[in-house]
Amino acid sequence: HVQLVESGGGTVQAGGSLRLSCAVSEFAYSKACMGWFRQAPGKEREGVAAIYRNGATVYEDSVKGRFTISTNNAKNTLYLQMNSLKPEDSAMYYCATGWGCTERAGIDYWGQGTQVTVS
């Protein structure tokens, strides 16, 4: 059974950077992909970035060029490096894994979330 735990959230000023981590109980490349989602108050959860077994990555348009998703297989960890942060990036960020990581319907397992606030 796959468990995921996010960390690294916090409060930063606009233009700043933050690196989120997701510790995975067993490396989730046993699934097709791993990804990051975010949900702001009053809004639907949306896909931010995904990475597939072959290393291919997909990004939501608004974060393309600013965010980078990566994995460290030896540490069983998923990362999201976030640069040039904007207030609209403020949300609870969730790591996830499944067979399709660009939409909620493709997710099998979710982390508990870590809060990112950009002021």
Which residue, 90, 113, 100, is CA-closest to 12? 90
- Specify the pLDDT at position 28: 54
- Specify the pLDDT at position 25: 85
DSSP label at 26?
S
Amino acid identity for residue 88 in this structure: E
- What token pair was written down for 61? 């348009």
DSSP label at 116?
E
- Specify the pLDDT at position 30: 62
Q: What is the block-wise mean pLDDT of the chain (119 residues), using blocks of 10 residues? A: 92 98 77 92 96 93 98 89 98 94 92 97
CB atoms < 10 A from the CB of 53, how many?
12
- HSE on the CB side for 54, CA within 13 Å? 2
SS3 content of the chain, % helix, strand, coil (to 5): 15, 50, 35
- Specify the pLDDT at position 113: 97
- Specify the pLDDT at position 58: 97
- What token pair was written down for 98? 């499944």
- Specify the pLDDT at position 78: 94
